[in-house]
Amino acid sequence: MGFQQERADFERELDQLYATYPSDVGALKRRLDERAAGQGEATSYRRKALIYELAAEHCPVHLFRHCPFYFEVDAGRPRTSWGFEGLGRWLRDSAFGRRYERDGDAWKKPWDAFVRFNGRTDTDLDHHCAGYDNILRLGLDGLRTQAEERLTRATQERERSFLDSAVRGLASLGTISCRFSDRAEAMLTDETDPVVRRRLGRIAAAARRTPAEPPQTFYEALNTLVFMREILGSIEGIGISTFGHLDRMLGPYYDADVAAGRLDRAEAWDLLAAFLAFTDVKFDSRRAYHETSTTVFIGGCDGAGQPVYNEVTRLVVEVYRELGLINPKLQARMSPAHPESYFDLLAGLAAAGTNVVALYNDPVVIAANVRAGKREEDARLYVGGGCQENILQNAEISSRATLFFSAPAVLDMGIVPQRWTAFAEAEGLQLTPQTDCATFDAFYRAFLGNLRQVVDRLVANRNRHEANGWLYNPCPLLSSTISDCLETARDMTEGGCRYSSGSVDLAGIGTLVDSLYAVRQVVYERGDVSLAQLLAMVEADFEGDEAFRQYLLHRVPKFGHDDDEVRAFAAQVFADVAAAASGQANARGGHYGASLFAHRSSVSLGQALGATPDGRRAGAYLSQSMGPSLEALGSQFEIGAVLDALEPLDLTDYPVVGVLDLKLPAAPGGHGPATIKPVLRRFMDAGGSVMQLNVVDADVLREAQAHPERHPDLSVRVSGYSAYFATLSAEVQTEIIDRTEMQVR
């Protein structure tokens, strides 16, 4: 019996358990309090080890008759949480943890007007990647051996307590795995279905040895990924937001199994189908939108730079198309070295209107990470944690989607400074007014100075808080899987791994470019109005000056238009803004890098901002991620011009990511790969970083908003995720329709 025949039973069985979540773990937390009291003044690392051991001893493990994998430990984590809840947050619920959170809320409050904080900012409680390659190569026992050996050379208590906690955590995972084996054997006693008996028998055998030992088969490797992701999310108090680079990791196991006669393509398809379908079921994606913060990667290259494209690549894409999945978020890495058949595969998926894939341009993303000081062989193994923000698998801890920063708001600080007097005084900022600059060069230099000053202060505030992150939520178990943490004997929250990155996610750069260019054009070059007159219009939201607002909208070129001068200007702004938002040291020994991914903050940050000199009204959307503004799209839109606008930009200045959201019109009978492939090729050739491609029809979207019951399977790519349109809020649906109408006409 294949997965398609069992799918309904699979989904029903998982749904029945997850409908009972979250379980009450209050008694277990009280037991942790008692054990901690017996330790006296133990470090946060030794206290964290108590969670691992208690979970291994007492948290129920669940197996599903219609699921081939073992991974579900009930540690009080809610159904739609990817981590950081339940038993895993016990340390964060301590008196210190609550005080730490209050202090964080206090320093962030003055910044709420133009920065959207995504959860806690201390090393990020999400968007992480386990060291999957290290786990597959060594197994948990191999990592534990390394930790034990390093413990013999540790000289300081902080080092010893970190390594001891790592050892205890790795041993606890081995205990949990054996409990799955015991559970499978117990279920076999009464099981009569031969298919289920075979499944339970395989679990009973595999769980005795993996992931404690390195996996030997495709099945064992696949299960190791889901085991580590799910259990770390339940007991580490942090979100593991990717299953990693799937086809690169699993390809050798698939080839070996097929060659040995242990596996055929149909069985591999079924295993991948169960693995990939799990996320949509757990997060209840059909009934409501819940952020899954879960990705899988295909394509790209290996550490030696050889392109990855194999049978697993093809199987993954087939599963998404045939099952209609929207999660995990499918991310495809592309390069000129890939064969034409790979682009056919991706173009076919995009053209089908599934709207589930994000496309990465390998040469740009890899080069950006190398420019940021990372080894090329490490940079080649990037994945995306949660949405598009990249992270180097096995080697990096990142804090890259925790704050979204309105770049146009900093321009507003200079042109309408009276709005920001209280903020500037509270933060001790000496912002330069831009209200009487004699030249555009002076105007622009003042803006850049203000931007650097504001970013530096934001980073300094965050660093003071983040420095104590190892006390708030240390992660020795996750750290033990990441390269260099064991050898440095330091947790990832203390900078123990090879790369400890952070980022400032800049929202509204298209709006910023358009606004700066409008000032240059209408004030300093054309002389249409004085600077004082323009700024008065902006402050008044163009009240009484609608004619001039229309002039700004339709007679001043904008980013994304077919205009060489504005393209060159945009390239300068992109470069200067990246320089201002990059290079600052963080509290973990790493540095900040600029990012052009704003999730959905372009809506809320736009709502909080007054009018801008490009003709945008107060409260209107900001431009999305690195793309053109709605004002630019509304005056003229042509896909080729938008892609051409990328060419002068150097997106290697943005090592985290630079996301372009592009919408194509739906076509009668659908697009073929031949329609989509030139778009993919041009995006790469123009030097794009990441592209989200939507094939949509505004009329269909409006109909689905009015009659959701008629379009239950309509999926859309939003910003960093895909969702069934009917599950989104009315506000998000309207935003998608608005942006679609501007691009698809």
Question: Which of 159-173, 504-518, 583-597, 701-715 shows the lowest mean pLDDT across its residues?
Answer: 701-715
Non-local (6+) Cβ contacts of 180 within 8 A are 61, 63, 70, 203, 207
Q: Is residue 78 part of a domain?
A: no
Amino acid 610: pLDDT: 97
Amino acid 717: pLDDT: 62
Amino acid 205: pLDDT: 98
Amino acid 111: pLDDT: 94
Non-local (6+) Cβ contacts of 402 within 8 A are 117, 118, 119, 120, 121, 124
Q: Give the residue-averaged pLDDT of 708-716.
A: 68
Q: Is residue 518 part of a domain?
A: yes
Whether 214 shows a pLDDT value over 70: the answer reads yes
Q: Which residue has the higher pLDDT, 724 or 394?
A: 394
The C-alpha atoms of residue 641 and residue 646 are separated, in whole angstroms, by 9
Q: Are 591 and 372 in contact (CB under 8 A)?
A: yes
Q: Is residue 187 part of a domain?
A: no
Phi, psi of 454 (to 5 degrees): -65, -45
12 exposure class (CB count in 10 Å sphere: 0-12, 13-18, 19+): exposed
State the DSSP string of 518-579. Answer: HHIIIIIIS-SS-HHHHHHHHHTTTTT-HHHHHHHHHHS--TTSS-HHHHHHHHHHHHHHHH
% of the chain at pLDDT higher than 90? 73
Task: Band the pLDDT of 200: cuts 50, 70, 90.
Answer: very high
pLDDT tens sequence across 266-298: 999 999 999 999 998 888 887 777 788 899 999
Amino acid 620: pLDDT: 94
Amino acid 599: pLDDT: 76
Phi, psi of 712 (to 5 degrees): -70, -20
Q: The tokens of 534 are what?
A: 């323009």
pLDDT tens sequence across 134-157: 999 999 999 999 999 999 999 999
Q: The tokens of 133 are what?
A: 């390659």
pLDDT tens sequence across 526-560: 999 999 999 999 999 999 999 999 999 999 999 99
Strand duo 390-392 + 382-384: pairing: antiparallel
Whether 745 shows a pLDDT value over 70: the answer reads no
Question: Which of 32-36, 240-244, 298-302, 633-637 shows the lowest mean pLDDT across its residues?
Answer: 633-637
Whether 667 shows a pLDDT value over 80: the answer reads no
Task: Band the pLDDT of 641: cuts 50, 70, 90.
Answer: confident
**Collapsed DSSP state (helix, strand, coil) of residue 662:** strand
Amino acid 119: pLDDT: 61
Q: What angle do CA 11, 270, 723 make, to 5 degrees?
A: 50
Tally of domains in the chain: 1
pLDDT tens sequence across 328-337: 999 999 999 9
Q: Are 281 and 314 in contact (CB under 8 A)?
A: no
State the DSSP string of 721-744. Answer: -EEEGGGS-HHHHHHHHHHHHHH-
The C-alpha atoms of residue 56 and residue 341 are separated, in whole angstroms, by 46
The Cβ of residue 8 has, within 10 Å, a number of other Cβ atoms equal to 10
Q: Is residue 424 part of a domain?
A: yes
Q: Give the residue-averaged pLDDT of 386-395.
A: 89
Q: Are 381 and 133 in contact (CB under 8 A)?
A: yes
Whether 744 shows a pLDDT value over 60: the answer reads no
The Cβ of residue 724 has, within 10 Å, a number of other Cβ atoms equal to 22
Amino acid 552: pLDDT: 97
The Cβ of residue 178 has, within 10 Å, a number of other Cβ atoms equal to 16
Q: Which domain holds residue 582?
A: 403-660
Q: Is residue 611 part of a domain?
A: yes
Q: Is residue 631 part of a domain?
A: yes
Q: Is residue 81 part of a domain?
A: no
The C-alpha atoms of residue 690 and residue 664 are separated, in whole angstroms, by 16
pLDDT tens sequence across 458-467: 999 999 988 8
Q: Is residue 387 part of a domain?
A: no
Look over the chain and give the mean of its residue pLDDT values, rounded to a whole number: 91
pTM for the model = 0.94
The C-alpha atoms of residue 722 and residue 328 are separated, in whole angstroms, by 9
Q: Which residue has the higher pLDDT, 128 or 401?
A: 128
Task: Band the pLDDT of 738: cuts 50, 70, 90.
Answer: low
Whether 121 shows a pLDDT value over 60: the answer reads no
